Amino acid sequence: MAAMFRTLLIANRGEIACRIARTARAMGLRTVAVYSDADARAVHAAVADRAVRIGAASARESYLNAEAILAAAKTCGADAIHPGYGFLSENAQFAEACEAAGLIFVGPPAAAIRAMGLKDRAKALMEKAGVPVVPGYHGADQSDATLKAQAAKIGYPVLIKAAAGGGGKGMRLVERAADFAAALEGARREAKSAFGNDHVLIEKFVACPRHIEVQVFADSRGNAVHLLERDCSLQRRHQKVIEEAPAPGMSEDMRMHLGAVAVKAACAVSYVGAGTVEFIADASDGLRADRIWFMEMNTRLQVEHPVTEAITGFDLVEWQLRVAAGEALPKRQDEIRARGHAVEARLYAEDPHGFLPSTGTLERLVLPHGVRVDTGVREGDAVTMFYDPMIAKLIAHGTTRKGAVAKLADALTKVEIAGVRTNNAFLIRALRHPEFVAGGTDTGFVARRLSELVPEQTVPPEHVLAAAAQLLVREHGAPDGDDPWGKADSFRLAGKARRIVEFVADGKRLTASPEASGAHAMQLVNGDIAVMEGGETFVLRPHDPLHDAEEEGADVERIVAPMPGKVIQVAVKAGQSVRRGEPLVVLEAMKMEHTLSAPHDATVEAVDVVLGDQITEGAVLVRFAGEAS
C-alpha cells in the first residue's frame, strides 16, 4: 500500500462506517470516524482509531457538511477520505474539494459522478454509447404540460423519477392521467428535499419488472471488469429489502452479455473504482437480452455488496482502497467466478403495516450467529428520526440458492428486538414464501402478496400471553396475607384460585394465566411487556381500567403523528370539509415523505401544526369537528 494511505477518514456513519473501518484496519490503515451530536456514543465512533465531531444531529449540519468533514480530515492528518455509500459518496463537488485539499477521494472521478449522477443525462449518454435504455422522457423541458404530454405519449402506467439520487426518493407510480399532477408535485418536493434538485424524468412502467444490477470495477490503468450480477427485485416503497447473487434464472450467456454491457457503460464515462450499473428487465417471458434495459449507474459501492463478496470471495472495500491508491485491479475477468449463492436481508426499525419508520431505544437487541451480520448499533442505542432506520444487514451464503435462503430465514428467527417495531417477521415470511423460494420474484411481489407477508394483527398466541403474564406476576408478585380482596388473582368461594392477568394489545382486551413458556419476555421502560419468539415481537400493555377509560375514543376524531418528523405540507385549514382519503398533512421522516389522509368524511375543527414544525410521535396534527379541545 502506498504511503499516502496511512490515515483514512470515513465520511459516513453506522454500519457503513463500521464495515469500511474493518477492512481499512485489517490493511494496516489508521482510521478516523466523524460523528454528529446524535452519534456521539455510536458504534462507528468507538471502533475507529480516532473520532471527530462534525456538527448537529441533522444530516445537513453534519454528514452532508463538506466543509466540516474536510476540516476534520485536516485536523487529524488524514491522507484519504472514503465517503461510504450514502451522503456525499455521489457528490462530484465533494470529490473535487477533496482533491483540491490534497486528499485522495476513494471513489470515481468527479467527471464520472457528474455523467452518471443525473439519470436523464446518463440515459442520453448510454443511448449514444449503444447501451439499451428504458423507453421514456428525459429531456430538459420540465414544464408540467410537457411532462404530462410525454407521459401520455409513453402510455400509462408510468414512473416519475427524480433525475438526481435514488433509493426510491422522488419516485411515484402513476397509473392514470388524472393522478399525474398530484404525483408530479409530490415527486418534485421529495426530490428537492433529498437531493436539492427537483428535475424529474418519465419512464415506462414495466409490467413484470425485475431489478438486476451488475457490480463493475475499473482502475486508473485502463482495466475494467464486472463481478457478476445481483437481483434486487424484492422491494417495498421502491426500496430494496432482500437482495441475492447470482440472479435466479440467469443463463451464463445472458450473464456474460449483461456484464459486457455494464462494463461498456462504465468505460463510456472513463470510470475508476467501484460502481453499480442497474437494469430493469421485463421478465414476463423469462430473462431475455432484448428485454433488459439500463436504468442508472450508482457511482459508489452498494448497500448490498456483501452478497457479491460472498460469491466471489473478494473484499470490495479492499479493492476500492487499492484502486484509489493507484494499484491495478487484483483480478482479471477470467479469474472472477461465482461460488454458490448468497442472500441479504435488510433489518429495519419500521412497522411493516405501512412500512413507516419506528423510532425508540433498542432495549433488547440479539442478532444471530452463523451468518454475516453488518451493523452499526448495539443494545441500548437509539433509532432516531435523523437517519436511515436500518438496524442491520444479515447475509447468508450456501452452495445452493435454496440452502442460502433457508439459512437466512432460520437465522432471522433467532433475532430478538424490543423497543422499536421491526420488519423482521416480514422478512422471514418473504424468504419462506413459495413464490420467492421458486425464484424470479418481480418488484410487484410485496404489493401482490402483502396480506400474506404482513397479515392483519391478530390476538397473540396463548403461550405468548402466558409468558407475559408470568413475567408480570414474577416481577410484581401479589400482596402477602390471606385476604382475598388483596390478592392479584381471581377470587373463588370454593376451589383453588387461578391467577388471571389482563392485557391490551391492538385495542383488544386479553386475559392470560402465568405459565412457563419458551418465549422470552421483558418489561420495557414504558411498562409494556415485549414477548419475543421465532423472530417476532409481541407488545402487550398491562390492562389499566382508568387509563383505558380516559383514552377511549381519543383518536377517533383526530390525526396524530405516527412518527417524529418535519411538517413539509399542510393541505387543509380550520372549517374545511374533507372527504375520506383526502391528504391533510405531509411529514418528512428519515428521508422519506409520509402523507396523512382523512380517515372519513369530516369537517376540520383545528390544525395544530404549521409548515416547518418538528413534531414528535403521537403529536396531534388535525382535529375534526365534534372533538373537545
Rounded distance between C-alpha atoms, residue 566 and residue 591, angstroms: 10
**What is the per-residue pLDDT for 488?**
46
User: What burial class does residue 60 get, using C-beta atoms within 10 Å of its C-beta: 0-12 exposed, 13-18 middle, 19+ buried?
Assistant: exposed
Cell digits for 410?
432460520
pLDDT lower than 70: segments of the chain: 1-4, 165-167, 477-498, 545-556, 590-591, 626-629
Catalytic residue among 13, 210, 236, 300: 300
Three-state secondary structure call for residue 312: helix
CA–CA separation, 79 and 104 (whole Å) = 6
Q: In this predicted model, what pLDDT tens digit does every residue of 245-297 receive, in sequence order? A: 999 999 999 999 999 999 999 999 999 999 999 999 998 888 888 889 998 89
Q: Considering only CA atoms, which of 417, 383, 384 is closest in space to residue 537?
A: 417
In this prediction, residue 317 carries a pLDDT of 98
In this structure, what is the dihedral angle of CA atoms 137, 143, 147, 152, given to the nearest 10 degrees? -130
C-alpha cell at 396: 447468508
Q: Please, what are the domains in the chain?
A: 3-106 (3.40.50.20), 135-204 (3.30.1490.20), 211-453 (3.30.470.20), 462-551 (no CATH), 558-624 (2.40.50.100)
Contact between 619 and 573 (Cβ < 8 Å): no
DSSP class per residue in 28-89: T-EEEEEEEGGGTT-HHHHHSSEEEEEE-SSGGGTTT-HHHHHHHHHHHT-SEEE-TTSTTT
* CA–CA distance, 502 with 245 (Å, rounded to integer): 48
- Is 300 labeled as catalytic in the residue annotation? yes
pLDDT value at position 522?
95
- The residue written with cell numbers 411538517 in the block is 567
Residue 229's pLDDT is what?
97
Q: Is the peptide bond before 542 cis (omega within 30 degrees of 0)?
A: no
pLDDT at 196: 84
The confidence score (pLDDT) of residue 240 equals 95
Q: Under DSSP, is residue 623 helix (H, G, I), strand (E, B) or coil?
A: strand
Q: Which residues pair with 231 in a beta bridge?
A: 212, 244
pLDDT for residue 249 = 92
CA dist., res. 422 & res. 366, Å (int): 13
